Each structure stands twice: as C-alpha cells, then as structure tokens.
C-alpha cells in the first residue's frame, strides 16, 4: 500500500519540491512516475527483489526518452536525492532501487529499441531489454548472438555493465566486451555518446561500473553468428553425503585449470541440499565432445545426460532450466549471497575442499534452499587486458557464488551459513586476495568497491570526480568520487 506519513524523508513526502518537479515531466508522456503515497507503491512499482532489504524510494519513474531521464536527474539533483537506474531489477542488494531509502529510481522498461545493421552486424539495443527478449530479437534479425548469462529475466542495462558472464563467454568474452558505443545520461543531465574515440573514459567506466556514472539508454553491440552445433551435458551425483563428493569436485578443479582446455567447453558445478550436479554446454559436435573424455575423467558414479540441441533459442532456454534458476530465477524473496574469485594460482587446496564439503553436511543452515555454484570463466575473458575496461577480474579462472533463501524471512542462522561457506575456503588459503563479482553484490562486504574493481578502482574514482563529483549516481557500494 501507499505511505503518505510524515515519517518519510522530506523529498518522499506528498507535495515535496521533488514531486512538484517530477510530475510535470510525464504530463504528456506515455511514461509515468509513482510516489510513496500511491496505492500499492511497494508491491506494484518498487518491486523489491531481495525482500531481506526493504527499501522505500522517493519515486519510481518510467521514462520513455533520454530527454525525460535528463529532466529526472536534474530534479533529483535539485532536491539533493540520489539516482539509480533499474533494468531487469535483479540486483541482490536492491541497488536498482537505490540500495537505500529516498533514491529516485529510473526504470528503463520502455527502452526496448532494437535495430540490426545487416552490413556490419552491429546491433543497437535499448538498455531495458531483458536477456530472453534480446536473444529472440537477435535471432530473428539474422541468427546473431552475444555472450550473456543464463537468467532470462535479467535486464541488459545492468548485466552488460557489470560483466555479463555466461556459457559462451569463454569463446566471445563477457557481455560488456561486446559494447562498442553507448548513449548515456550523465549527472549534469547531459545526454551524450561514449565510444573508444569519444568520451573514452566514460566507456571505460560503463564497461564494468556504469551504475556509478550515469544511466545508459542505448547500446551498440558487436554480434556473432549463432553457434551451429551445441551439446548440453550434465552429471548428477547423489551419493548421500556431500563429503563423498569432494574428490569429484577436486577432479573438476584440476581439469578446468588446464590452460589448454577447449574454449568450446562451458562447465559449472551446483552443490545443493540433495546432491551435486556438474553441467554445461559444449559448442561443437558430439564427436568433438566425446574426444575430450570429460565424462570419464570426472566420475564413474554419476547419472549422465548428454543432449544435442539443434537451435540457438532452444539452447538459451535450456540454460534457464538449471536447478538453481528453476528455484530462484525470476522470483523475489529474502536471500543472501556471496562470491569469491579464483585464479589459476589460487586453486582451492585439498583441505579447503574437504572442509567445505563436510560443512555442507554438518552446518545448521536454517533453510533447505541453498546453493554453492562454481562457474568456469577464463578463455576469451582473460584475453582482454586488466586495464582495458572497469571489469577487474580478467585473471579469474572460476567464481564461487553461494546463495541461500529464507523460508519466509531470512534468519541470522542462514546468513551465517552463507558466510561460513566462504570462510571455510578463505581460512584454508591465508593471505590470498580473492575479490568479488559485482554481479553477485554482497551488501555486507566492508570494502565492496575494492573487491569488485580492484586495481581499476583509482582510475574509476578519478573519472567519477570528473563527471559526477556530487555522487548523484549512488548506491551503498558504488564508486566514490574520492579515494
């Protein structure tokens, strides 16, 4: 329901100067703006994704043009209110709605433009486009594709400006590596373009940290022909105790650490309450896949499934059917997630693996819905220099994402369980600087910006000071204009 009480901050109260400034923007627009006093504000308009972090924005706007966004930003600046864009709305810390109370949300749902240049195969795409829609539009425009993640409800605007990692990234790079040019609204309300030859610093920041620097309205992306042949494989281990699966995980880690591993192979491990699944995609023929001998090298105790997929749309749809995404893909809830980054020189030692898998069996979790997901990266992602884009983990071999959903609400016990999964590994590897992936945002990280952007953070802070010195585009873990 709406909230018109005086307990709200001044900018969020009915009739405030902020509301008087925003409302006329939409007088003759197909967009709209909603305020805390409006009926069903939280449920229908704010739509908090992580319900463990309740937030009340000062306003939720849904503009239709870049010029309207410019006016929204100017209104927020005049009222000294922070601004954040929302694309798909899947931020783990609710950063798409500011990450804290009293921000202005710019919902990009109306930015659905799409155009394919059939001579250059460059696609122009609105930042409000969901990944499922992007896949279909590129397919229909000539059988084209880019690298991106597996959750169909995620929005391009956030995904492609954090990293955008997915099964084909080992061949094509991250989603952000496909960005050639953007249109972006800056903190002073300017609508501008950024590319390698125009506002190059802005493009650098957009490719990994855009939420701190502006609102991207449009991407120009390079694209690839859809892979002609794809296999989807899975090995399901249900051996009773998770501890019995530790040796198989260690084998998997050894296999993926091979620098000569075929880049056509994508693989991940999902550990959950009922067992462990090793699955992935091979972008080639069955004969090529069988020649890898991947199945036999992993485990003789697995239930094996190998499916040949004959069309790209079916392949992408199949990715969304993993155990984790079937449960949590587009559904909001109370949850907590953490991540760790592993490099070829920071593999998890045997004692750390054993401690972790024993912990899966013995920990008091407070929930049955939890996952530890290990995703292979490397390949083409690592080919790009560390300082070429804001994305800082060019040396990552794989990520661990731990995730637990509260049953109704999120208990301290469940949060401690998620933290404990990371602790079991970090305690076995003293002195290692792991880093974290900004797409798996962790609101409890004390040094989030340093963990997310690493050695690129000083340059980002300088760019921030130049184009957003008042920190208009702010969330609790955004880039600060000062070191």
CATH number at residue 33: 3.30.43.10
Segment 364-381 mean pLDDT: 94
At residue 6, the pLDDT reads 58
Give pLDDT, residue 240. Answer: 77
Judgement on whether residues 418 and 360 belong to the same structural domain of the protein: yes
Q: Which of 42-56, 179-193, 464-478 has the lowest mean pLDDT?
A: 42-56
SS3 293: coil
Mean pLDDT in residue range 87-97: 89
Distance CA 269, CA 276 (A): 7
Query: What's the CA gap between 428 and 434, in Å, rounded?
Result: 12
Q: Which two tokens stand for residue 182?
A: 């953007």
Percent of the chain scored above 70 by pLDDT? 94
Q: If we measure between CA atoms, which residue out of 104, 93, 7 comes closest to residue 46?
A: 104
Q: Which of 78, 107, 136 is the last residue of a domain?
A: 107
| For residues 367-386, average pLDDT | 94
- Tell me if 402 is assigned to some domain: yes
- The kind and range of the H/E element at 356 are helix 350-362
The single residue listed with the structure tokens 């080919």 is: 383
Answer positive or negative: Cα dihedral of 370, 152, 399, 477.
Answer: negative
Q: What is the DSSP string of 393-437?
A: -TT-SEEEEEEEE-SSS--HHHHHHHHHHHHHHHTTSTT------
Compute the average pLDDT of residues 87-91.
88
Instruction: Identify the pLDDT of residue 347.
Output: 97
Read off the pLDDT of each residue in 154-182 and give the average, rounded to a whole number: 95
Do 47 and 131 belong to one domain?
Answer: no
Minimal CA–CA distance to 159: which of 439, 386, 381, 449?
439
Give the CA-trace dihedral at 473, 475, 476, 478, to 10 degrees.
-60
pLDDT at 290: 87
Q: Which of 168-172, 238-242, 311-315 has the lowest mean pLDDT?
A: 311-315
What per-residue confidence (pLDDT) applies to 483?
A: 64
Tell whether the model's pLDDT for residue 332 goes beyond 80. no
Please indicate, yes or no, whether residues 255 and 374 belong to a single structural domain of this protein. yes
Q: What is the mean pLDDT of the chain?
A: 91
C-alpha separations of 258 from 230, 231, 253, 304, 305 in Å: 22, 21, 9, 23, 24
Cα-based angle 165, 167, 170 (whole degrees, multiple of 5) = 80
Q: Are residues 76 and 143 in the same domain?
A: no
pLDDT tens profile 213-223? 999 999 999 99
478 falls within a domain? no
The H helix count followed by the E strand count for the chain is: 16, 18
What pLDDT is recorded for position 134? Answer: 96
The pLDDT assigned to 234 comes to: 81
Q: Is residue 480 domain-resident?
A: no
Q: Is the confidence at residue 323, as pLDDT, over 60?
A: no
Q: What is the CATH number of the domain that holds 370?
A: 3.40.462.20
Q: Specify whether 238 is located in the same domain as 220.
A: no
Residue 173, domain CATH: 3.30.465.10
**What whole-number distance in Å separates Cα of residue 49 and Cα of residue 95?**
10
Quick one: how far is CA 372 from the chain centroid?
16
> Where in the sequence is the domain holding 281, given as residue range(s)?
230-443
Domain end position, chosen among 83, 107, 131:
107
332-360 average pLDDT score: 95
Higher-pLDDT residue of 325 and 359 is 359
In a domain, 72, yes or no: yes
From first CA to last CA, the distance across the chain in angstroms is 41
Rg of the chain's alpha carbons, rounded to an integer?
22
Examine the domain organization and report whether 138 and 182 are in the same domain. yes
Confidence class of residue 286 from pLDDT cuts 50, 70 and 90? confident
- Count CA atoms closer than 13 A to 474's CA, side-chain side: 20
pLDDT attached to residue 1: 55
- 481 domain-assigned: no
| Residue 450 maps to a domain | no
Question: Does residue 136 sit in the same domain as residue 151?
Answer: yes
Whether residues 351 and 270 share a domain: the answer is: yes
253 with 360, same domain: the answer is yes
Residue 392 scores a pLDDT above 70: yes
Tokens 């208990």 sit on residue: 411
Answer yes or no: is pLDDT of 59 > 70.
yes
pLDDT at 303 over 90: no
Write down the pLDDT at residue 318.
63
Domains identified in the chain, total number: 3
Interval 431-444: pLDDT, tens? 999 999 999 999 99
Instruction: Give the number of other Cβ atoms within 10 Å of residue 228's Cβ.
Output: 11
In a domain, 197, yes or no: yes
Query: Which token pair is 432?
Result: 């290692």
Distance between CA atoms of 399 and 81, rounded to whole angstroms? 35
Residues 130 and 84 in one domain: no
Q: Of 56, 79, 107, which residue is a domain's last?
A: 107
The answer to whether position 448 is within a domain reads no
pLDDT of residue 150: 83
Same domain, 247 and 373: yes
| Residue with the two structure tokens 């949060």 | 415
The confidence band for 308, taking pLDDT boundaries of 50, 70 and 90, is confident
Q: What was the pLDDT predicted at 300?
A: 64
Same domain, 260 and 282: yes
Q: Is the pLDDT of residue 238 over 90?
A: no
Residue of 38 and 11 predicted with greater confidence: 38
Report yes or no: 219 and 260 within 8 Å, Cβ to Cβ.
no
């Amino acid at each position: 329901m709406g909230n018109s009480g005086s307990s709200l901050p001044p900018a969020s109260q009915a009739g405030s100067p902020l509301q008087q400034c925003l409302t006329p923007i939409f007088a003759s627009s197909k967009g709209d703006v909603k305020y805390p006093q409006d009926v069903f504000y939280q449920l229908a308009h704010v739509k908090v994704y992580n319900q463990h972090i309740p937030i009340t924005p000062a306003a939720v706007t849904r503009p239709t043009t870049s010029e309207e966004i410019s006016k929204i930003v100017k209104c927020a600046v005049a009222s000294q209110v922070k601004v954040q864009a929302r694309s798909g709305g899947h931020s783990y810390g609710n950063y798409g709605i500011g990450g804290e109370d009293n921000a202005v949300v710019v919902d990009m749902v109306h930015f659905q433009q799409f155009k394919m240049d059939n001579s250059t195969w460059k696609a122009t795409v609105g930042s409000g486009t969901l990944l499922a829609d992007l896949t279909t539009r590129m397919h229909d425009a000539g059988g084209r594709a880019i690298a991106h993640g597996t959750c169909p409800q995620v929005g391009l605007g956030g995904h492609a400006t954090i990293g955008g990692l997915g099964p084909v990234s080992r061949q094509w790079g991250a989603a952000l590596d496909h960005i050639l040019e953007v249109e972006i609204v800056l903190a002073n309300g300017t609508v501008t373009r950024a590319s390698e030859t125009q506002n190059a610093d802005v493009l650098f920041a957009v490719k990994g940290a855009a939420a701190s620097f502006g609102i991207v309205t449009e991407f120009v992306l390079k694209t690839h022909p859809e892979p002609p042949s794809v296999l989807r494989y899975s090995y399901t281990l249900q051996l009773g105790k998770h501890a019995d699966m530790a040796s198989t995980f260690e084998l998997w880690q050894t296999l993926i650490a091979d620098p000569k591993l075929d880049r056509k192979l994508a693989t991940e491990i999902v550990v959950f309450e009922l067992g462990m699944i090793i699955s992935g995609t091979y972008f080639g023929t069955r004969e090529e896949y069988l020649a890898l001998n991947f199945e036999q090298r992993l485990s003789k105790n697995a239930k094996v499934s190998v499916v040949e997929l004959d069309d790209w749309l079916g392949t992408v749809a199949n990715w969304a059917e993993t155990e984790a995404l079937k449960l949590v893909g587009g559904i909001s809830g109370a949850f907590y997630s953490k991540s760790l980054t592993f490099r070829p020189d920071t593999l998890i030692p045997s004692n750390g693996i054993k401690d972790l898998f024993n912990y899966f069996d013995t920990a008091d979790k407070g929930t049955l819905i939890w996952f530890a997901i290990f995703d292979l990266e490397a390949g083409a992602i690592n080919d790009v220099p560390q300082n070429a884009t804001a994305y800082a983990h060019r040396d990552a071999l794989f990520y661990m994402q731990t995730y637990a959903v509260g049953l109704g609400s999120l208990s301290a016990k469940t949060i401690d369980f998620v933290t404990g999964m990371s602790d079991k590994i970090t305690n076995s590897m003293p002195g290692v600087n792991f880093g974290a992936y900004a797409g798996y945002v962790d609101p409890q990280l004390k040094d989030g910006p340093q963990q997310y952007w690493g050695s690129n953070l000083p340059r980002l802070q300088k760019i921030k000071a130049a184009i957003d010195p008042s920190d208009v585009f702010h969330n609790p873990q955004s880039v600060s204009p000062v070191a």
